[in-house]
Amino acid sequence: MAGSTLPDFSPSAPIAYESSAADRVQESAEQFITLFHAENNLGSPDHRIRQVRREIEFSGSYWHTPAELAFGARVAWRNSSRCIGRLYWHSLRVRDCREISAAADIAAEAVTHLRSATNGGRIRPQITVFAPDAPDQPGPRIISSQLIRYAGYELVGGGVVGDPSNVAVTRLARELGWPGGRPPGRFDILPLLVQEAGAPVTMHEIPADAILEVGIEHPDYRWFANLGLRWYAVPVISDMYLEIGGVRYPAAPFNGWYMGTEIGSRDFGDAGRYDELREIASHMGLSTATDRTLWKDKALTELNLAVLHSFDAAGVAITDHHTESARFLQHLEREERHGRGCPVDWSWIVPPTASSATPVFHRTYTDFDQTPNFYRHPAPAPASLATPASLAAPAEPSLRELAQPVDELAAVCPHQGGEHVPHLRMIEEQGGVERQLSQLDS
């Protein structure tokens, strides 16, 4: 792993020099190949390590075999310390699109990803891996934080119509010529923003029939449906890079399925997002005069119930925070049985609602950074986002905002900060998963 500690200049120690980029790739590669061979009972990794070393000497990087890529992507999920849904890390479907780097082709594959991940509601955890960064040729990037996002339109006098998380990216899309909803709506799907290395950002509409959405209604409150809330079925994180054995895949969108609180508590409940609690409380006839009536708590509970109920009624996979917490503890046990440490970030793992009623709350964990993993891209350089339109436009999008366009993980993240933003959660899938798991255990 690339060390960030200072060299030891004490008199007795040999002077340590910063190793070259190729050396760092080499070191990470060896570590990864060794892990790959060990966990898959492939015998000695020496032959493959020699091969990889030659390739790195020659080109500065190396090409993963399809099996290494699939394993690497799955372990990246397993190492994501902020993800509560890791029990099914082994079930991740890996789409190898490493030959693809043109923006239009990326957009087309992203749509294919959406369709197969959505799978009519029987959501499949999946990742699509596009071209890697090479020493002489950076790979492409997806600027959108998820493949599907709702626009956030700033109002002249302040305030936002739609999702406030997506204001910056909405502004950028408009500068690129996206007309926006007419009139602007609260749930207008944004086009996908893609950037080929060294090229301007381009924009790509996602066909409506590739997007499954669920209208939110409540099992008992008839008025709830009139709030007009809806959410998309599949969260596909698209602005993180995948790091495997010293190779960086800058565009590698991945998805699991939702845990209800991500939508109910955070996307709809957060004051900085759709901020629905007061409206719901008043429909419930609760006094909002003082916080001590716990109107927020009651509204949150009904909102979460409505989300779970609506997804269930629509036949779209979603998990709840109680089930998922129990599964996570199962995951920890299983990892321990395999003799592996499992990095966990308490502040992300503990659900935002009914926290202390879940077992994950009542214990401590250790967190550490381990590759393969997913990482948040550093802020894009201003020039790299420049487009003819945005250069001409006086109101350039705030790059600082764009760097953190949305905390798409906000739903499980009471505390943000730090670069390391793994995510993904899962629920039980078709029998195949359980089969895989029992194999894992054996």
Q: Which stretch binds ligand ARG (CB under 6 A): 17-25, 181-189, 298-306, 402-410?
A: 402-410
The interface region with ligand ARG, picked from 207-215, 299-307, 371-379, 403-411 by CB under 6 A, is 403-411
Active site residues: 83, 86, 257, 262
Q: Are 117 and 255 in contact (CB under 8 A)?
A: yes
Question: Of 424, 427, 433, 437, which lies in the binding site for ligand ARG, with binding defined by CB under 6 A?
Answer: 424
Residue from the set 191, 235, 250, 397 that interacts with ligand ARG by CB under 6 A: 235
Phi-psi map region of 134: left, alpha, beta (phi>0 left; psi -120 to 50 alpha): beta
For ligand ARG (CB under 6 A), the number of binding residues is 18
Spatial distance between the Cα atoms of 407 and 145, rounded to a whole number of angstroms? 8
For ligand ARG, the closer of residues 267 and 302 by Cβ is: 267
Give the nearest distance from C-beta 45 to ligand ARG in angstroms.
32
Mask: binding to ligand ARG, 33-72, rule CB under 6 A, as x and -? ----------------------------------------
What does the per-residue mask of binding to ligand ARG show for 243-282, with x meaning CB under 6 A?
------------xxxxx--xx---x---------------
Q: What is the DSSP string of 333-355?
A: HHHHHTT------HHHHS-SSSG
Our CB check for ligand ARG shows the closer of 61 and 145 to be 145
Nearer to ligand ARG, 103 or 421 (CB): 421
| Nearest distance, CB of residue 268 and ligand ARG, angstroms | 10
Integer CA distances (angstroms), 70 to 88, 284, 341, 440, in order: 14, 49, 21, 16
Q: Tell me the C-alpha distance between 170 and 345, whole Å.
A: 31
Q: Judged by CB under 6 A, which of 196, 239, 243, 408 binds ligand ARG? A: 408
Work out which of 409, 421, 433, 437 binds ligand ARG, going by CB under 6 A.
409
Cα 236 to Cα 211: distance, rounded to the nearest angstrom: 12
Nearest one of 112, 137, 109, 257 to 194, comparing CA atoms: 109
Taking the least distance from each CB to ligand ARG, the nearer of 175 and 239 is 239
Q: Tell the smallest beta-carbon distance from residue 78 to ligand ARG (Å).
A: 14
For 207, the token pair is 């066909």
How far apart CA 46 and CA 127 sit, in angstroms, is 29
Residue from the set 110, 280, 411, 421 that interacts with ligand ARG by CB under 6 A: 411
Query: Which parts of 181-220 interact with ligand ARG (CB under 6 A)?
Result: none
Nearer to ligand ARG, 247 or 427 (CB): 427
- Using Cβ positions, the residue closest to ligand ARG within the complex turns out to be 411
Q: How far is the CB of 53 from ligand ARG (least distance, A)?
A: 36
CA distance 243 to 28: 10
Q: Is 92 in the site for ligand ARG (CB under 6 A)?
A: no
State which residue, 61 or 126, has the beta carbon closest to ligand ARG.
Answer: 126
Q: What is the largest CA-CA distance in the chain?
A: 77
CB of 67 to ligand ARG, least distance (A): 25
Map residue 148 onto helix, strand or coil: coil
CA distances from residue 415 to 128, 199, 277, 292, 349 in whole angstroms, order as listed = 28, 34, 21, 24, 11
Identify any residues that bridge with 152 across adjacent strands, giving them in sequence order: 162
Residue 169: exposure state from Cβ atoms within 10 A (0-12, 13-18, ≥19):
buried
Residue selected from 86, 174, 327, 423 as contacting ligand ARG according to rule CB under 6 A: 423
Query: Which neighbouring-strand residues pair with 104?
Result: none
Residue 204, CA atoms < 13 Å, CB-side half-sphere: 22
For ligand ARG, the closer of residues 350 and 424 by Cβ is: 424
Shortest Cβ 408–ligand ARG spacing (Å): 4
Query: What tokens does 359 get?
Result: 């077992």
31-35-36 Cα angle (round to 5) = 115
State the nearest-atom distance from the C-beta of 397 to ligand ARG, in Å: 21
Residues that bind ligand ARG (CB under 6 A): 235, 237, 255-259, 262-263, 267, 408-412, 423-425
